[in-house]
Amino acid sequence: MTTRQLGGIYEYWRDGEAIVSGFMVFGKEFDGSYIVGASKEALQRYQIDTLAYRAEVDTACGRNSTRLSLMDGDPPSKLRWASKRVSSYRVVLSCGLAPWVPYAGYCVLRSRCRRYARKSNFTLRWVRKTIRKYKVLRSRVVWYVESDSAPRWIKNVTSKR
Protein backbone atom coordinates (compact mmCIF):
# COMPACT_ATOMS: atom_id res chain seq x y z
CA MET A 1 0.00 0.00 0.00
CA THR A 2 2.84 2.38 0.71
CA THR A 3 4.42 1.85 -2.71
CA ARG A 4 1.11 2.75 -4.40
CA GLN A 5 0.65 5.80 -2.13
CA LEU A 6 -2.44 4.25 -0.50
CA GLY A 7 -0.88 4.23 2.95
CA GLY A 8 2.07 5.41 4.95
CA ILE A 9 4.10 4.52 8.02
CA TYR A 10 5.29 6.92 10.70
CA GLU A 11 7.74 6.16 13.49
CA TYR A 12 9.21 7.77 16.58
CA TRP A 13 12.75 6.69 17.40
CA ARG A 14 14.79 6.83 20.61
CA ASP A 15 18.40 5.66 20.95
CA GLY A 16 18.33 3.91 17.57
CA GLU A 17 15.16 1.95 18.35
CA ALA A 18 11.62 2.53 17.07
CA ILE A 19 9.44 3.06 20.14
CA VAL A 20 6.17 4.09 18.44
CA SER A 21 5.05 3.36 14.90
CA GLY A 22 1.79 3.55 13.06
CA PHE A 23 0.20 2.88 9.73
CA MET A 24 -2.17 5.29 8.00
CA VAL A 25 -4.41 4.68 5.00
CA PHE A 26 -4.95 7.41 2.42
CA GLY A 27 -8.28 7.76 0.66
CA LYS A 28 -9.95 10.25 -1.66
CA GLU A 29 -12.10 11.78 1.07
CA PHE A 30 -9.96 11.30 4.19
CA ASP A 31 -6.76 9.99 5.70
CA GLY A 32 -7.18 7.38 8.42
CA SER A 33 -5.21 6.05 11.34
CA TYR A 34 -5.27 2.29 10.84
CA ILE A 35 -3.00 0.85 13.54
CA VAL A 36 -0.55 2.14 16.13
CA GLY A 37 2.02 0.09 18.02
CA ALA A 38 4.44 0.91 20.80
CA SER A 39 7.12 -0.73 22.90
CA LYS A 40 6.39 -1.56 26.55
CA GLU A 41 8.76 1.18 27.67
CA ALA A 42 7.02 3.75 25.46
CA LEU A 43 3.62 2.75 26.84
CA GLN A 44 4.87 3.43 30.36
CA ARG A 45 6.78 6.65 29.64
CA TYR A 46 4.82 8.52 26.97
CA GLN A 47 1.30 9.53 25.97
CA ILE A 48 1.14 7.28 22.91
CA ASP A 49 -2.18 8.75 21.73
CA THR A 50 -0.72 12.26 21.67
CA LEU A 51 2.35 11.15 19.69
CA ALA A 52 0.18 9.24 17.22
CA TYR A 53 -2.29 12.13 16.78
CA ARG A 54 0.53 14.56 16.13
CA ALA A 55 2.09 12.35 13.46
CA GLU A 56 -1.30 11.71 11.86
CA VAL A 57 -2.28 15.40 11.79
CA ASP A 58 1.13 16.35 10.35
CA THR A 59 0.77 13.68 7.66
CA ALA A 60 -2.78 14.73 6.77
CA CYS A 61 -1.76 18.41 6.60
CA GLY A 62 1.25 17.54 4.45
CA ARG A 63 -1.07 15.74 2.03
CA ASN A 64 -3.58 18.66 2.04
CA SER A 65 -6.25 16.28 3.31
CA THR A 66 -9.49 17.86 4.55
CA ARG A 67 -10.36 15.07 7.00
CA LEU A 68 -8.47 12.79 9.38
CA SER A 69 -10.33 9.76 10.67
CA LEU A 70 -9.27 8.01 13.86
CA MET A 71 -11.17 5.04 12.38
CA ASP A 72 -12.67 2.14 14.30
CA GLY A 73 -13.12 2.00 18.05
CA ASP A 74 -14.28 4.52 20.58
CA PRO A 75 -11.86 4.87 23.47
CA PRO A 76 -12.26 8.15 25.42
CA SER A 77 -9.11 9.58 23.84
CA LYS A 78 -10.75 9.40 20.39
CA LEU A 79 -14.19 10.66 21.40
CA ARG A 80 -12.95 14.05 22.58
CA TRP A 81 -11.61 14.79 19.09
CA ALA A 82 -14.54 13.51 17.06
CA SER A 83 -17.07 16.00 15.74
CA LYS A 84 -19.24 13.14 14.54
CA ARG A 85 -19.18 9.34 14.52
CA VAL A 86 -18.47 7.72 11.19
CA SER A 87 -19.43 4.11 10.62
CA SER A 88 -16.77 1.78 9.31
CA TYR A 89 -16.80 -1.53 7.50
CA ARG A 90 -14.57 -4.56 7.87
CA VAL A 91 -13.35 -6.84 5.10
CA VAL A 92 -12.34 -10.40 5.97
CA LEU A 93 -9.56 -11.76 3.74
CA SER A 94 -8.26 -15.31 3.47
CA CYS A 95 -6.05 -17.45 1.26
CA GLY A 96 -8.76 -20.07 0.80
CA LEU A 97 -12.51 -20.51 0.99
CA ALA A 98 -12.45 -23.24 3.68
CA PRO A 99 -11.10 -21.08 6.54
CA TRP A 100 -12.86 -17.94 5.29
CA VAL A 101 -16.49 -19.15 5.32
CA PRO A 102 -16.76 -20.08 9.03
CA TYR A 103 -14.80 -17.04 10.19
CA ALA A 104 -16.78 -14.62 8.01
CA GLY A 105 -20.00 -16.21 9.30
CA TYR A 106 -18.79 -15.74 12.87
CA CYS A 107 -17.96 -12.07 12.17
CA VAL A 108 -21.41 -11.41 10.68
CA LEU A 109 -23.20 -13.15 13.55
CA ARG A 110 -21.15 -11.34 16.19
CA SER A 111 -21.72 -7.97 14.52
CA ARG A 112 -25.49 -8.49 14.32
CA CYS A 113 -25.68 -9.67 17.93
CA ARG A 114 -23.75 -6.65 19.15
CA ARG A 115 -25.92 -4.30 17.11
CA TYR A 116 -29.09 -5.94 18.45
CA ALA A 117 -27.89 -5.81 22.06
CA ARG A 118 -26.76 -2.18 21.73
CA LYS A 119 -29.82 -0.73 19.99
CA SER A 120 -32.61 -2.60 21.69
CA ASN A 121 -34.11 -1.13 24.87
CA PHE A 122 -35.78 -4.46 25.47
CA THR A 123 -33.04 -7.06 25.21
CA LEU A 124 -34.06 -10.63 25.93
CA ARG A 125 -32.75 -12.10 29.16
CA TRP A 126 -30.93 -14.94 27.38
CA VAL A 127 -29.14 -12.43 25.13
CA ARG A 128 -27.93 -10.39 28.12
CA LYS A 129 -26.86 -13.62 29.85
CA THR A 130 -24.98 -14.79 26.74
CA ILE A 131 -23.20 -11.44 26.42
CA ARG A 132 -22.19 -11.59 30.07
CA LYS A 133 -20.85 -15.16 29.67
CA TYR A 134 -18.95 -14.17 26.53
CA LYS A 135 -17.26 -11.27 28.35
CA VAL A 136 -16.32 -13.54 31.27
CA LEU A 137 -14.95 -16.20 28.92
CA ARG A 138 -12.97 -13.61 26.95
CA SER A 139 -11.44 -12.12 30.10
CA ARG A 140 -10.51 -15.59 31.40
CA VAL A 141 -8.85 -16.48 28.09
CA VAL A 142 -6.85 -13.24 28.18
CA TRP A 143 -5.87 -13.91 31.80
CA TYR A 144 -4.77 -17.46 30.92
CA VAL A 145 -2.75 -16.38 27.91
CA GLU A 146 -0.94 -13.73 29.97
CA SER A 147 -0.34 -16.09 32.92
CA ASP A 148 2.84 -18.08 33.53
CA SER A 149 0.98 -21.39 33.20
CA ALA A 150 0.14 -20.93 29.51
CA PRO A 151 2.31 -22.98 27.12
CA ARG A 152 4.97 -21.10 25.20
CA TRP A 153 3.38 -21.79 21.80
CA ILE A 154 0.19 -20.04 22.92
CA LYS A 155 2.21 -17.04 24.07
CA ASN A 156 4.03 -16.97 20.71
CA VAL A 157 0.80 -17.17 18.71
CA THR A 158 -0.99 -14.49 20.73
CA SER A 159 1.89 -12.09 21.28
CA LYS A 160 1.44 -8.55 19.95
CA ARG A 161 4.54 -7.88 17.92
Residue by residue, DSSP assigns 111-144 as: HHHHHHHHH-SS--HHHHHHHHHHHHHHHHHHHH
Q: Cα–Cα distance between 157 and 151 in angstroms, integer?
A: 10
Average pLDDT in the 102-120 region? 80
Contacts 24+ apart (CB under 8 A), 9-16: 10/55, 10/56, 10/59, 12/42, 12/51, 12/55, 14/42
Give me Rg for the CA atoms of the chain: 19
Q: Considering its fold, how many domains does the chain have in total?
A: 2
Q: Could you tell me if 70 and 20 lie in one domain? A: yes
Average pLDDT in the 4-8 region? 80
The pTM for the full model equals 0.44
- Under 8 Å between Cβ of 19 and 41: yes
The dihedrals phi and psi of 89, each to the nearest 5 degrees, come to: -125, 150
Is pLDDT at 140 greater than 60 in this prediction? yes
pLDDT of the residue at 59: 84
Distance of CA 85 to the CA centre of its chain: 16
Domain that includes residue 146, residue range: 100-158
Residue 116 lies in a domain: yes
Average pLDDT in the 99-121 region? 79
- CATH code, 44: 3.40.630.30
Name residues whose C-beta falls within 8 Å of residue 5's C-beta, 6 or more positions apart in sequence: 26
Q: Which of 18, 27, 31, 95 is nearest to 59 (CA)?
A: 31
Share of the chain above pLDDT 90, in %: 0
Quick: pLDDT tens for 37-58: 888 888 888 888 888 888 888 8
Q: Could you tell me if 59 and 105 lie in one domain? A: no
The residue from 79, 114, 136 where one domain ends is 79
Residue 94 lies in a domain: no
